[in-house]
Amino acid sequence: MPYQRRDYFNRRFTREELVELLRGTGLSPRDLLSTRSRAYQALGLAEREVSEDELIDLMVQEPTLLRRPIVLIDNQVVIGSDRKRLAAALHGASRKP
């Protein structure tokens, strides 16, 4: 199956790209948030209230806040290392004509 790989540390997402990804998948910015990242800890995001708009802006500025990998297959998105969901999404995509 052909794919495109994107290193979003070197080619960061724009705000518009993240908003479109979220809109197209029905996810919230919190669904993409890596709570294990150093930036998450350094910014004190666990201790303070942050709006969805602010989270998106922070993710654009600091890509380590994004959970990895982000795999987009058709209109499904698999975030993180959920191998079962990734396998199911790949299997479904490979069955399409």
**CA atoms in the 13 A half-sphere facing the CB of 59:** 29
- Poorest-confidence range of 7-21, 36-50, 71-85? 71-85
Q: Please indicate, yes or no, whether the overall pTM of this predicted structure exceeds 0.85.
A: no
Domains and CATH numbers, the chain: 15-69 (3.40.30.10)
Taking 80 as the threshold, does the pLDDT of residue 27 lie above it? yes
| Mean pLDDT value across residues 6-23 | 93
- Alpha-carbon distance 23 to 45, whole Å? 23
Taking 70 as the threshold, does the pLDDT of residue 2 lie above it? no
pLDDT for the residue 97: 58
Taking 70 as the threshold, does the pLDDT of residue 1 lie above it? no
Please, are residues 73 and 25 in contact by the beta-carbon 8 Å criterion? no
- Alpha-carbon distance 30 to 34, whole Å? 8
- Alpha-carbon distance 38 to 54, whole Å? 18
3-state secondary structure at position 42: helix
